[in-house]
Structure 1
Amino acid sequence: MSRNYFTLRCGDQHEKIPYDELQYLEVMNDHILLHLQEKRLATMETLDWIMSQLPMSAFLRVHQWFVVSYRHITRLGENYLMIGNVKIPVSQQALASLSAAMAGKVTES
């Protein structure tokens, strides 16, 4: 049976993170900030570990400091994307994958 969430250590607590609520991850100096629909969480886990917990058909690393959920992208520009009112930079390498996803060529799982 496939789970629709992962569990993440945030400080001295463990948080259940539903995949469909996770909008994007942002790498900060010494921690990762998870932006969910209703809240933000900070963790000391590594980005590689968090990405290993995510379904890669639904998430993409678009920049050195950002991983986004395809389903929450509202607009794609020449070198950025929007999730709501938040502008996130996109590397040239990630642009082709995002363009295909926005055109409906990538299906959600």
Structure 2
Amino acid sequence: MKCLIVDDEPLAIKIIDRFIDAVDDMEIVNTADNALEAYNILQREKIDVLFLDINMPELSGLDLLRTLKKKPIVVLTTAYRDYAVEGFELEVLDYLVKPIAMNRFMSTVERIRREYNKAELTNEDDQRSEFAFFKVNKKQVKVFFDEILWIESLKDYIRIVTKDKSLITHHNLNSVSKILPDNDFYRVHKSFIANMTKVSEMEGNMLLIGRQHIPVGRNFIKDIKERLLG
């Protein structure tokens, strides 16, 4: 994730720079000490995450946000708590109060990852493709949808199971369902999405896919029976 730090205090930039350097999937592509410079950077470079100070000369961080038609993920950084409500009205993701502690910063990083992954999975044109790339152990792995047997929820992660492999990636069932073919993949349980073209049997509240039985939740069973049996 490409990051821009905007702050009129060099020490504040240095601290966030050091924090980001400790995170494998984030990198700083630029810094700015005023909002006008930041605006120009945002116009010419792709920025995924903006760490933005509020109180700056000439143009405040909040004023900068109001000028942007399309915003990256925004994290406000400030010594004052008074702007929290106004910041969230501008749809910022988080609000870090200086001095920023490393553990608080890492909590923000987890929120950034969830938001970034959700945005990656959402196709603006709502077009479906035959495959998607998923981040697995720092690598982007290509997965063809017609090879997926089922997907299992593991809290903040999901397990994608194909005939040949099992992949764990940082997504949730709601976000991944947005890119799956509607006609083939159904939510069958609060913890499972199944590829219905791979179902060979249904007995009671269990689906058989390959040699694995997948549970069907009570709230889903009527719909699943109608889809399978017509």
Q: TM-score when scaled to structure 2?
A: 0.42
- Equivalenced residue count is 104
* 1:84 aligned onto 2:210: yes
Separation in 2, partners of 1:97, 1:29:
25
Could you say which structure has the greater relative contact order, defined with CA pairs below 8 angstroms and 6 or more residues apart? Answer: 1
Identity %: 23
- Give 1:29 shift: 4.1
Deviations 1:56-102 (A, max 9, x none): 22101111111000111111111111112111110133222222232
Separation in 2, partners of 1:23, 1:38:
10
Residue of structure 1 in register with 2:139 after alignment:
13
Residue of structure 1 in register with 2:195 after alignment:
69
Unaligned regions of 5+ residues in structure 2, if any?
A: 1-126
Separation in 1, partners of 2:174, 2:135:
14
CA-based RMSD of the aligned residues comes to 1.7
Superposition map of 1:1-109 within 5 A: 3-103=129-229, 105=230
Structure with greater helix percent = 2
- Give 1:2 shift: 5.4
Name the SS for the 1:54 alignment partner. Answer: coil
Would the aligned equivalents of 1:9 and 1:45 in 2 still touch at CA under 8 Å? no
The one-letter code sitting in structure 2 at the alignment partner of 1:37 is K
Structure with greater strand percent = 1
Deviations 1:10-39 (A, max 9, x none): 231111111110000011244211001111
Are the structure 2 counterparts of residues 15 and 80 from structure 1 closer, same or farther at C-alpha, using a change threshold of 3 Å? same
Name the SS for the 1:92 alignment partner. Answer: coil
Q: Name the stretch that deviates more: 12-21 or 24-33.
A: 24-33
Q: Which one has a bigger Cα radius of gyration?
A: 2
Q: TM-score when scaled to structure 1?
A: 0.84
